[in-house]
Amino acid sequence: MYDLIVIGAGPGGYVCAIRAAQLGLKVACVEGRETLGGTCLNVGCIPSKALLHASHMLHEAHENFGRMGLTGAKVKVDWTKMQSYKAETVAGNTKGIEFLFKKNKIDWLKGWAIIEAPGKVKVGDDVHETKNIVVATGSVPASLKAVEVDNAGGVIVDSTGALALPKIPKSMVVIGAGVIGLELGSVYARLGADVTVIEYLDVITPGMDAEVQKQFQKILTKQGITFVLGAAVKGAEIVKGKARVTYALKKDDSEETVEADCVLVATGRRPQVEGLGLDGLGVEMTDRGFVKVDKHWATSVKGVYALGDCIPGPMLAHKAEDEGMAVAEVIAGKHGHVNYDTIPGVIYTTPEVANVGLTEEAAKESGRKVKVGKFPFMGNARAKAMLQSDGFVKMIADAETDRILGCHIVGPGAGEMIHEVCVAMEFGASAEDLALTCHAHPTTSEAVREAALACGDGAIHA
């Protein structure tokens, strides 16, 4: 009899299993993939970051090395080698989780789980008994009507297929200007493809601060990506080995077509819960197909919990990890907690885009008086030395209390820099607290401090 069986070994599930084992519980984790780590490690965050890193290096070599006085034979792409570098990166990480499972004495039950009844999990022919179950089954790409994805074919693909294309396409259409579309679109643009992003809304990266959306789009356009906004994709077909995408412009309903070697469908993801037996168990779901949970991640069935992408909230690996730790603590009788107000979001393009807390628009809509401090990377010595001075830091604080409400960064290493603001917000800091904290010179983090200073008497270098 286990204390806990976690279903799914993605960042939510494996972290939950490890924390539960550390807290003294007898734990098993069910995973049907050949390797642990879920979407994130196998076909998501990690392989995409390998390709983003490699293609960024290529971009640096082509665009900036000469300016820095680095010359030599032109760097070329060996796609097969880049794919094996990506595979090695993935393998190193998935094996790492296997090691951690062994170290923490967590049983890996290989196969796909079905919950037969509360406390009974079937994997293959075996039924395992447990006091608690955590559903951490993640999400899968959402399909688009009239666009049939065939990852093996390599012409119309989703994010999984786009990570392993047989060759670098000369042209690519990306459907959806969300995180996946822009990250993978950037990869192929840097590798030489003509990339066109078609987006239904009139802006890219829905939900982000409006100034960030504008600046980010400008930067990506400068990098050679074409945007068609306010356009709904109606269908895609393959004609003589090439994809033909049809879209309708919202402003006048006119239909247009565009051809490309490859189409990436990046129109969102949906929870993956089919075949688990949740219906039979009577687990309540939301209207949009997510597992319904209470404040302690308990479902409507006693002893069954859920977390990560299969419950409502942002579909982010680190949100799932935080929930994984918290759920383990709840099950172990402690007080697991997640502060959803300080979860950062990062887009790993160049420059990176990162945010935490409220956008300027949301802060104003909440009825508060708001002050905004902005600082451009043009005024940051380190960014200039790296030839990466595009972008800015935007700090949003309550005009009455000076408490930091949010921060939005477009710039080099934004995904690392955002964390000092997360910590500050976690401690309820004011913009002045951050502004009075000494920041090493020369670092890009100084721009964060300058934005905080700009909420008060003014930035120094602006």
Query: Would you call 237 exposed, middle or buried from its count of C-beta atoms within 10 A (0-12, 13-18, 19+)?
Result: middle
In the set 59, 318, 337, 441, the catalytic residue is: 441
Nearest partner of 1 among 119, 113, 106, judged by Cα = 119
Q: How far is the CB of 265 from ligand NAI (least distance, A)?
A: 8
Q: Annotated catalytic, 441?
A: yes
Which residues, in sequence order, are bridge partners of residue 346? 354
CB of 269 or CB of 368, closer to ligand NAI: 269
Measured at CB, which residue is nearest to ligand NAI? 178
Q: What is the smallest separation between the CB atom of 157 and ligand NAI, expressed in angstroms?
A: 13
Q: Which is nearer to ligand NAI, 120 or 419 (CB)?
A: 419
315, 404, 447, 452: residue in contact with ligand NAI (rule CB under 6 A): 315
445 scored as a contact of ligand NAI (CB under 6 A): no
Report if residue 266 touches ligand NAI, rule: CB under 6 A: yes
Please say whether the beta carbons of 343 and 337 come within 8 A. Answer: no
Residue 252 beta carbon to ligand NAI: minimum distance, rounded to whole angstroms: 16
Residues 6+ apart with CB under 8 A from 160: 43, 141, 151
Position among 156, 173, 243, 346 found at the interface with ligand NAI (CB under 6 A)? 346
How many residues sit close enough to ligand NAI to count as binding (CB under 6 A)?
26
DSSP calls for 112-179: -EEEEETTEEEETTEEEEEEEEEE---EEEPPBTTB---TTTTSEE-HHHHTT-SS--SEEEEE--SH
Nearer to ligand NAI, 201 or 462 (CB): 201
- Which residues 220-239 are close enough to bind ligand NAI by CB under 6 A? 232-233
- Interaction with ligand NAI in 180-209: which residues (CB under 6 A)? 180-181, 183, 198-201, 206
Residue 422 binds ligand NAI (CB under 6 A): no
Cβ 13 vs Cβ 328: under 8 Å: no
Phi first, then psi: what are they for 144, rounded to 5°? Answer: -120, 130
CB of 316 to ligand NAI, least distance (A): 5
In the complex with ligand NAI, the residue whose CB is nearer, 233 or 396, is: 233
Minimum distance between the CB of residue 152 and ligand NAI, rounded to whole angstroms?
Answer: 20
Is 348 a residue that touches ligand NAI (CB under 6 A)? yes
* Pairing state between β 226-229 and 27-31: unpaired
Q: What angle is formed at CA 180 by the lines to CA 178 and CA 184, rounded to 5 degrees?
A: 125
Q: Is 267 in the site for ligand NAI (CB under 6 A)?
A: yes
> Integer distance in angstroms from the first to the last C-alpha of the chain?
63
With respect to ligand NAI, which residue has the nearer C-beta, 85 or 200?
200
Residue showing tokens 């419950």:
311
Binding residue for ligand NAI, selected from 11, 12, 13, 178, defined by CB under 6 A: 178
Q: Does 140 bind ligand NAI (CB under 6 A)?
A: no
Q: Say whether residue 176 binds ligand NAI (CB under 6 A).
A: yes
Tokens coding 226: 């074409």
**Site for ligand NAI (CB under 6 A): which residue of 269, 374, 382, 449?**
269
Closer residue to ligand NAI in complex, CB, 198/452? 198
> Of the ranges 110-118, 162-170, 260-268, 374-382, which one interacts with ligand NAI (CB under 6 A)?
260-268
- Please state, in angstroms and rounded to a whole number, the distance separating the CA atoms of residues 431 and 190: 37
Instruction: Check residue 321 for interaction with ligand NAI (CB under 6 A).
Output: no
The residue among 342 and 380 lying less far from ligand NAI, judged by its C-beta, is 342
Strand partners, 2: 130
> Do 236 and 156 touch, CB atoms closer than 8 A?
yes
Measured from the CB atom, the residue of 93 and 430 that comes closer to ligand NAI is 93
DSSP-derived pairing of the beta strands 171-175 and 262-265 = parallel
Does residue number 268 form part of the binding site for ligand NAI (CB under 6 A)?
yes
On the CB side of 381, CA atoms within 13 Å amount to 7
User: Does 312 sit near ligand NAI (CB under 6 A)?
Assistant: no
460 by DSSP, 3-state: which?
coil
3-state secondary structure of 271: strand
Q: Can the peptide bond before residue 376 be classed as cis, meaning omega within 30 degrees of 0?
A: no
β-pairing, 2-7 vs 27-31, is: parallel
Question: Of the candidates 347, 353, 424, 425, which one interacts with ligand NAI according to CB under 6 A?
Answer: 347
Instruction: Report d(CA 409, CA 219) in Å as an integer.
Output: 13
Does 179 help bind ligand NAI (rule: CB under 6 A)? yes
Binding site for ligand NAI (CB under 6 A): 144, 175-181, 183, 198-201, 206, 232-233, 266-269, 315-316, 345-348
- Active-site positions read 441
